[in-house]
Amino acid sequence: MISSIPQSRTFRGIYAAYVSLFFIYLVVPLVVVAVFAFNDSLFPSLPWKGFTLDWFFNDTEPRLGVFHDRGILKGVGVSLFVAFWVTVLSLFVGTCNAFLFERNSFPFKNVLYVMALLPLVIPGIILGISILVFSNSLVNGVEDLLGWELEFLRPGLVLVILGQFSFITTISTLVISARLRKFDLSLEEAALNLGASKMTAVWTITIPYLKPALVGAGIVAFLMSFENFNTTLMLVASDSPLTITMFDRLREGSTPALNAISLLLMIVSAILAFISILVQREKGVK
Amino acid sequence: MKLGNSSKLGLLLLMAPLLIWLFALILLPHVDMFFLSIREKVAPRVYQTSMANYMEFFNEPLYWNTFARTAVMSILTTAITLLIAFPISYYIAKMLKGRMKAFLFVLCLLPFWVSELVRTFGWMILLRETGIVSSTLQWMGVVDGPIEFLYTDATILVGLVYSSMLFMVVPLVSTLESLDDSYIEAGYDLGGNGFTVLREVVIPHAMPGIVSGCIVVFMLSLGNYLTPVLLGGKDSLWFTEQIYAQFITRFNWEQGAAFGFLLLILSSLIVWAGLKLSRQTLSETMG
């Protein structure tokens, strides 16, 4: 607070109340989802019928817990698979881009840099349909010309991975570039003077320096992929990631099992968020 | 710098992932989508180039009404988010110090880490006919029967504003933090009151943050699908639903591609105008 500025007590009181109300608004929907995961009722709504863990562990219909719900478990598996590949690919390409833009000059550098930022300002659903259209043309074109069937480029997990990768890479590029910009080049030169090859110097000096950014970008990429809906919706086939499975259930009307899986997701997200904050803090110290 | 052959090769190798990414997943798909959108089916397997799909958009009131409605609702969302978020950001940036500040800031980021689906689900539990709000109101005796809060425009706005909050708070807090307290004090010393200082000192300084927050919130609302569908129900009339329907339900890809392009143009125009207004470039805003 800026102490020299006169503010009446009433004003301060009202301001503090407003801020508190805001945080209640922020937290209430999440708390509600979490609490109703434990309601002993077939619907996630009032009245409260007592505490139960059935929605996690029970193994029979109609009170099927998430740990026995094949649809949900399969969705989690598919999402993990997709998120893993999106993370690996976007970290790899993001790191290459960071070195390219921070260390090199080449023709059309600015144009390419702006292009690399564009995916963030294209609505996700449009990224999805454009990739859907293009892959379809590609598959049909190749089939007409060469007679090859590129089955993997039909809607399905490969396209989902590529679709999510297309915009998550922008984020990983930005995060890794920001860290690389602060790197003191003389460290790498010292390694070169000591007889290391360029590759060894980068691998043993620069990459470890980038580690906090890599971990941070990796966590963000993983979560964004795991939670992505818009782009995925347009590219998905029969293997549905968790968000799509949950969306279908939500529309049908759901049991508190959906609250249970949501609560688990919140816990995992919170842990990952915590790790990334720790990593950021470590970065701040250096 | 003159490059040797080997470092030229190295540069090309380093550039390859970028070029593949940008051309195969961003540029070519959009070009292809554009050509699809100006194609008209005149007979089975026979196509001609025409603007028919775009004409269809202007001739069918449902389509452009939905389009305009989506734009207006997104503008409303942006305005409401800004109004709610500004005092909060000011409070975090200027009224708090140390631990409490860091804690509240992280608390603002919290919903972002949770999937949009879960957040929307929370609002459904609160607002539906058998939901918490309706039950509480009945219990308090304010109303007699259950009330359905879902499936109205106001509900869509509540959901969109909630999801957008983070993207407004973060840029606002960071620009407000860079405002030196002494400027605010000087404003008061020169005889300004709270309102004039806000108008003449704080808001002009925060303008870059306001603009980048507004751009992101507007764009995300425009392209949102989940919130309007789940909270707005069948009559939510969001433009992304039209795109989905053309592609998946009706299998009229030509029409869907035209719709996609129109949405992309609107969204790009807004981003461009916002950047022009605040005299910023895309690279500065993002970096």
Q: Which tens digits make up the pLDDT trace of A108-154?
A: 888 999 899 889 888 899 999 999 999 999 998 888 888 887 778 88
In a domain, B162, yes or no: yes
Q: What is the mean pLDDT of chain B?
A: 84
Give the CATH number of the domain where residue B72 resides. 1.10.3720.10
Nearest CA in chain A to B17: A93
**Chain B residues near residue A137 by CB distance under 8 angstroms:** 32, 36
Q: Which two tokens stand for residue A175?
A: 């995060």
Q: Is A18 in the B-facing interface, judged by CB distances under 8 Å?
A: yes
Query: Is the CATH number of domain A78-254 1.10.3720.10?
Result: yes
In a domain, B13, yes or no: no
Q: Is the pLDDT of residue A168 over 90?
A: yes
Interchain CB contacts (distance < 8 Å): A and B: 236
In a domain, B27, yes or no: no
> Which of A89-93, A236-240, B115-119 is modeled with the greatest confidence?
A89-93
Are residues B91 and A19, on separate chains, in Cβ contact within 8 Å? yes
Q: Which two tokens stand for residue B193?
A: 């009151």
Are residues A129 and B256, on separate chains, in Cβ contact within 8 Å? yes
- Of A15-29, A182-196, B37-51, B249-263, the range with the lowest mean pLDDT is B37-51
Q: Give dist(CA B197, CA B185) in Å, integer.
A: 9
pLDDT at B4: 57
Domains in chain A: boundaries: 78-254
B107 or B172, which is more confident: B172
**Residues paired with residue B47 on neighbouring β-strands, in sequence order:** B41
The number of distinct structural domains making up chain B is: 1
Domain span at residue B58 reads: 53-286
pLDDT at B20: 93
What pTM did the predictor assign?
0.87
pLDDT at B78: 94
pLDDT at B2: 46
pLDDT at A2: 59
Q: Give dist(CA A194, CA A192) in Å, integer.
A: 5
In a domain, B30, yes or no: no
pLDDT at A285: 42
In a domain, B204, yes or no: yes
Give the DSSP per-residue string, B117-153: HHHHHHHHHHHSTTSHHHHHHHHHTS-SS----SSSH
- What would the mean pLDDT of A163-169 be, rounded to a whole number? 93
Q: Residue A181: what residue type?
A: R
In a domain, B70, yes or no: yes
Q: Is A52 in the B-facing interface, judged by CB distances under 8 Å?
A: no
> Which of A10-24, A80-94, A116-130, B104-118 is modeled with the greatest confidence?
A80-94
The contacts of residue A234 (CB under 8 Å, 6+ apart) are A125, A128, A129, A131, A132, A163, B244, B247, B248
Q: Which tens digits make up the pLDDT trace of B24-59?
A: 999 999 999 999 888 887 777 778 888 888 888 888
Q: Is A119 in the B-facing interface, judged by CB distances under 8 Å?
A: yes
What residues of chain A, 170 to 199, have a C-beta less than 8 Å from chain B?
Answer: 174, 177-178
Q: Is the pLDDT of residue B254 over 60?
A: yes
Q: Is the pLDDT of residue B271 over 60?
A: yes
Q: Is the pLDDT of residue A223 over 60?
A: yes
